[in-house]
Every structure is written in structure tokens, then in C-alpha cells.
Amino acid sequence: MSSLSELPQSACPVLDALADYKRTGYLGFTPPGHKQGRGADPRVVATLGADVFKSDVLATAGLDDRSASGAVIQKAQTLMARAVGAEHAFFSTCGSSLSVKSAMLAVAGPGQSLLIGRDAHKSVISGLVIAGIEPIWVQPRWDAELHLAHPPSPESVERAWAAHPDAAGLLITSPTPYGTCADLAAVVEICHRRGKPVIVDEAWGAHLPFSDELPTWAMDAGADVCVVSVHKMGAGLEQGSVFHLQGKLVDPTRLMECEDLLATTSSNVLLYAAMDGWRRQMVEQGAQLLGSALALARRTRERIEGIPGLHVLESELLGAAASHDLDRLQILIDLRQLGISGYQAADWLRAEQRINMGMSDHRRIGAQFTFADSDDTADALVHALGSLAEASAALAPARPIMLPDPSAFEVEPAMLPREAFFAPAVEIPAEQSVGRVSIEQITPYPPGIPALLPGERINEQVLDYLTSGITAGMVIPDSADPELKTVRVVR
């Protein structure tokens, strides 16, 4: 058996072990109960395919022996860490939502505080509830004209540390779902000067280490922990996530313990195999594949910009008062000139053109390009957007959304998120909830950034934004009442 240090990047430990498992013809008296598809309903097999079931085996006492002496997963994780220049890499099959919670628990615990960008994903709020951490919010740079949050600036991070020097660390999101990026190198330097760790929720940045044409990868910027979703911008299966670690400020054993606390004990080998194979693909072909994808995205941006009524955002997203960098594989399209909302556009494109958009809000839609796209898929998108522009005059005008002033989101929590979440609750009419303390987190999705958090006092501007947004087509999947006629508050 090769030692971990001798493994070449051409190796694929999980895929190789899975191939060996199938060749050997093991007979399992273990889960999964479908027994490699023999018991699966033929109607299910007809849709999913027989190979899905044949590859769905246990990681231990299946892919590996009962003591995991083959170190199959460990080898794959070691190769991943070496491929991206991290010291450690840990696979997760519960998505980056679990990975970011694990990272939070490894840095801070009950009674401690953590600096967090207020544009954090809803999974971060769940981590606050689980751990009992006090959030110290670092405000994003709000663009009042675009009504869009840019990542927090280094200056805002510096001010947050000056006001809260005892915080355990910082958690920041970069890239955002819009593709905008923080100045990570400057942010990390500010935190490390104080001996404090930096967690980067880099769910949208799994591809960043593999091309110099893309924004700076968190590990290259010196971050201590970063979390990536291999299924978002890579070629992993849904829920495939990796968290990377370097430096001495976060204990790798503690990080593994926190991941084990939250993770499933029945990890799906299919997810491991896809992450393992994607790592090899990126090491061998990543620069070329991503370079071609960026060139295709550039051409497509120019074509979309030429469609009357559409505007591709780029320069507006960059600069001293905006974001530090931009992943140009994310194509963000402003629809204001068409007079329709992103919600209307996304619904029309799906119904009329069989095109699903990655992001939609009150005035924009977003198209995510990866190395899987081609001239054919780009042509289909451009054709569909042209048809949308032509059809827009026949669509109803966008319903107005009462956009709040950015200061409406800068509220002092009345309670810790954990305290509010577990407090006695009462459900009251939304119009009576102003001034009450929310138990719910209420999150327009996409992009999944909560507008209201457990423990925050509800203010009229945010409530009007949410209720008018629902009327206009906004989706809020995590509130008890999806129509927001009622709100759950502390009794």
C-alpha cells in the first residue's frame, strides 16, 4: 500500500475502491436495504438507473473493511488538500450548511462571540442557535441604488475588532451568490494581527484554486478554514462539500470532532466518489477547462448586453465602495429597463423556454456558468433571454416591492438567536408584530440570506419589504406561514 505522501494526483482512491468492490462481487448483509438495487422497485430503477444502486454501498464494511484499514476516504481527503494547497481537507456529505456549522463550533462556543458578515447564509444562523454563540454583525457595503449587499470591507472588519476585541474569530462570505468577493487578504491580515482565526464561507468558490483567472482562493489569502460546495461550481453531486484547514489557530482534531457531532453516520459513497473524481479532473485539466468557461462567459456577457432592455452588471459590482473582485462565471442581469421583476423573468423562462435561472430577485436574474457549459448551452440562454425581452411588454408590470433603507437591517439583537429560538412562542398577525422579538429566521430564497433573525426586534421597514416581496413573487421557504400573514414571536 502506498503511503499517503506517495499518492499521485492521478489516483482516485474512492472511485478505485468502488470499482474493486464491484469486480470482487461482495455479497452484503448490511444496509442499504435495496442490496445494490436487487430490491429496488423497477419503476424507480428505470428513472434513476441501475448503476446508482450498484454504487450505493457502505463506506466501512463495504467500500473499505470494518476497521477502514484501507484508509480510502483519508487518502482521498489528503489528495484534495494537496491539490488545493491546504494542510487538511475534510469531506462532508451534508452540504456546506453542515460544514460551516462545524467550523463555527470549532472556533467559538456557548457564551463566546463571533464576528460575522451580516450577509451570511441561513446555515450560519442555524449554527448560532446550535452553539449559543453571540453574533457580532459586520455590516456589508450596501448599494442603495442596486439594493445589493457587497461583502464587508477591511475597514468595517477593523472597526468591529476595535469594538469587540474578545470575539473568538471572524466568519465572512466570499464569493457571495452574486459572484462578488471580499478583499480576503486584507481581512485575514487584520484578524491574524490579533491572533484570531478567519472562517470563509466559500460555498460558491470550490473552483477558485484551479485557475489564476479567478478571484483569490481563501487558502491563498491566508484563511484558516474555508468551506466549499463542490456541487455548486464543481462537478460534485448535491450535498458534496469540503472544508479546508491550515495554520495553528484552529485545531484539526477539534474541527473533526465538531463535524462528527453534526454529520450523518451513513455518508453516501456516491458523493465521496464524485468529489474524488472532480479533484483529479481539476488537477489534470482545471486550468484549461476553467479558462475555456471564462472565455465562453465573456462572449455570452457581450451577447446578452446587446439584447435591448437587458444589462449585464460588472463594473458596478467592483470598486472601493463595492466588491474587491468578481467571479465572472456568474452572469448577473438587470431587468429594470424591461419593467419586470426577476421573479417574473425566472418563472417565464422556465415555463416558456425550459430554462432554469440560478438566482432571481426584485430586479435581476443570474446565470451560473461552469466548465460544463458550451456554445450550445450559451446559445440556448441568449435565445431565451432575447425571447424574454420581446415578450416582456405583454407581461404584467412588476409589482412594487417596498425596499428598505439599508439601516433597517442594522438592528441590535434583543436576544441571542439561541435564546429566542427556544423561547415560548406565539403566532400573531404580521401587522401586529412590529416591535416584537422574532423567533423565526425569515429568508428570501435565493440567495438564502435572512432578512430577519431569531432574537431581532421586527421593524416596519423589513416587514413591509418581506410582505410586499411575497406579493411580487418572492419565495420565503423557512417561515411558519409562507404567505407571512402571521409571524412567530417571543411570547
The mean pLDDT value for 407-411 works out to 81
- pLDDT tens-digit readout, 255-273: 999 998 888 888 899 999 9
* 94 pLDDT tier (thresholds 50, 70, 90): confident
* 5 pLDDT tier (thresholds 50, 70, 90): low
* 3 pLDDT tier (thresholds 50, 70, 90): low
pLDDT of residue 287: 97
pTM of the model: 0.94
- pLDDT tens-digit readout, 426-448: 999 999 999 999 999 998 887 77
pLDDT of residue 413: 86
Q: Which one of 190-199, 310-319, 447-456 scores highest in mean pLDDT?
A: 190-199
The mean pLDDT value for 275-288 works out to 97
Instruction: Name the amino acid, one letter, at 460.
Output: E
- What per-residue string of b and e applies to 13-32 under the rule 16 or more CB within 10 Å gives b? bbbebbeebeeeeeeeeeeb
pLDDT of residue 403: 86
Q: Is the pLDDT of residue 98 over 60?
A: yes
- pLDDT tens-digit readout, 40-68: 999 999 999 999 999 999 998 889 898 88
CATH, domain range 286-394: 3.90.1150.10
- pLDDT tens-digit readout, 480-490: 998 999 999 99
Domain boundaries defined on the chain? 286-394, 406-490
Beta bridge partners of 385: none
pLDDT of residue 66: 87
The share of the chain scoring above pLDDT 90, in percent, equals 81
Q: Is the pLDDT of residue 1 over 50?
A: no
Q: Is the pLDDT of residue 2 over 60?
A: no
Q: What is the mean pLDDT of the chain?
A: 93
pLDDT of residue 412: 78
pLDDT of residue 149: 86
406-490: CATH topology: Ornithine Decarboxylase; Chain A, domain 4 (3.90.100)
Sign of the torsion angle spanned by Cα atoms 428, 430, 436, 438: positive
- pLDDT tens-digit readout, 7-43: 899 999 999 999 999 999 899 899 999 999 999 999 9
